[in-house]
Amino acid sequence: MPSDLLIIGAGLAGLMAGIHAAQQGLRPRIIATGFGATHWTAGTIDVLGYLPGDPEPVHHPFQAVPQLLAQRPQHPYGLVGVPALRRALQHFQELTTTLGLPYGGGRNPHTNFLLPSPLGAPRPTFLAPVAQRAGDMTREEPYLIVGFRGMRDFYPTLMAENLTRQGHEARAIFLPLDLITPQQDNTPLHLARALDREAVAMRLAQALKSHIQPGERVGLPAILGLERHQQVWGLMQEILAAPIFEIPTLPPSVPGIRLTRALRRHLERDLQVPVDLGMTVMDFHAQAARVQWVRTRASARPLKHRAQAFLLATGGFLGGGFTSDTRGRAWETVFHLPLTIPQDRGQWFRPDFLAAEGHPIFRGGLRADAEMRPVDTTGRVVYENVRLAGDLFTDSDPLAERSLEGVALATAWVAVHGLKFA
């Protein structure tokens, strides 16, 4: 039986779209080549961290949206509106709390707050997993940054030095990696799995306890458990009697993987929504401005997927939703929708690599109407039963703006809640 809604893409936008659809009584299905940017980002929810060309972090993201739209009038926030953005964020918080992976904001629930990056730089965000929130740079407690000898891609001394230069009291220590595992070639994901074992978490906490000075908050790399993260984080806080916070490392992102696993488990176990990976769309068929089916590559034979509606959440270049060739042509990979990216390689980038206004290739994307339907240069809807969500839209540079997750949540919310079936 065809699905009501076939979602193409399993990043944050695609997974949340599946949840919204199931909660409305629809029969969605999710297909994707693989998971999206959640495995690469910090696991936080960024709404709007920077305005184009302004190096100062945004304090109040909702109040800054009109300034953003003045510079980028086709930005997806202009399509969805601030009220829908707020509703999507509230739903996400309620959902993740229910799933045992709660997210929260800073002291003021309407503003951004600053968390330290892996290098100790301030990173504006709007919502973060509760295990990251004690890193808030507006708090006054001194930092103790904890590293492990032999752990790659985490530099506590450099981080502490950079925090100190910014006026924060900070110091770094190193503990032996074999407190967690005797294996020396580890990723953060390996270490998080090891710390799921209570005995290992207790051993680490006991070894760390004697190093903490009164009043310090303790920053550790984001490895405090994978499947039992809340229990591990709670145990560490209880034993150490100090605020404990995680610092996202270089990929793979353990906080992002935790979020993906929680959402997928909820979809497949609780909502009975299939999530099928390893499926790359190879072609599609449309009739009378409506997509009838898409066909995916599979190990045995190509498969056709029929649905009443289709939601495209493949991401831009980051997610493989856009691609290009050496001749300068760029295109959307599933429905071949018209892109605003220049078709001349000479116009993709500005001479200044760090240009404050960004590069045209990253600001280009798909146009959409208020229902998230793709439109062409004249504003005509290309396919009536296709919706867009996530990092696909023109006039938007989510990585530079730090709006990636806010755009994903808001566009998925509007795209699904605007669906109407005969």
Inter-CA distances, 190 with 44, 111, 184, 224, 244, Å: 21, 34, 10, 11, 20
In a domain, 393, yes or no: yes
Same domain (yes/no): 50, 162: no
Same domain (yes/no): 195, 293: no
Name the nearest CA neighbour of 235 among 131, 142, 93, 100.
Answer: 131
Same domain (yes/no): 36, 80: yes
Residue 40 has pLDDT above 90, yes or no: no
In a domain, 218, yes or no: yes
**What's the domain range around 179?**
142-242
Same domain (yes/no): 181, 224: yes
Same domain (yes/no): 212, 271: no
Query: Which segments of 72-197 does DSSP mark as H helices, in order?
Result: 76-80, 82-98, 156-165, 188-195
Average pLDDT over residues 210-231: 97
User: 192, 215, 242: which is the final residue of a domain?
Assistant: 242
CA dihedral 309→402→66→314, nearest 10 degrees, is: -10
In a domain, 368, yes or no: yes
Q: Of the ranges 7-21, 209-223, 308-322, 367-381, which one carries the lowest mean pLDDT score?
A: 308-322
Same domain (yes/no): 60, 16: yes
User: 192, 218, 242: which is the final residue of a domain?
Assistant: 242
Euclidean distance between CA atoms 170 and 156, whole angstroms = 10
Same domain (yes/no): 191, 265: no
Same domain (yes/no): 229, 266: no
Mean pLDDT, the chain, whole residue set? 93
Specify the pLDDT at position 36: 84
Q: For residue range 317-369, what is the model confidence (pLDDT) as tens digits?
A: 878 888 888 777 888 899 999 988 777 776 777 777 767 667 776 778 899 99
Euclidean distance between CA atoms 338 and 324, whole angstroms = 13
Average pLDDT over residues 226-242: 95
- Check which CATH number belongs to the domain holding 331 and give it: 3.50.50.60
Residue 194 or residue 354, greater confidence: 194
Specify the pLDDT at position 189: 93
In a domain, 281, yes or no: yes
User: 191, 218, 242: which is the final residue of a domain?
Assistant: 242
In a domain, 107, yes or no: no
How many folded domains does the chain comprise? 2
Residue 298 has pLDDT above 80, yes or no: no
In a domain, 375, yes or no: yes
Q: Of the ranges 158-162, 168-172, 178-182, 417-421, which one carries the lowest mean pLDDT score?
A: 417-421
Same domain (yes/no): 69, 199: no
Euclidean distance between CA atoms 121 and 115, whole angstroms = 8
Average pLDDT over residues 264-274: 97
Inter-CA distances, 145 with 162, 216, 225, 232, 381, Å: 12, 10, 18, 18, 52
Same domain (yes/no): 152, 58: no
Same domain (yes/no): 190, 316: no
First to last CA, the chain: 17
Residue 181 has pLDDT above 80, yes or no: yes
Confidence band of 316 (pLDDT split at 50, 70, 90):
confident
Same domain (yes/no): 66, 182: no
Both structure tokens of 55: 């190096």
Euclidean distance between CA atoms 321 and 334, whole angstroms = 7
In a domain, 114, yes or no: no
In a domain, 108, yes or no: no
Residues 6+ apart with CB under 8 A from 415: 17, 311, 371, 372, 387, 388, 389
Share of the chain above pLDDT 90, in %: 79
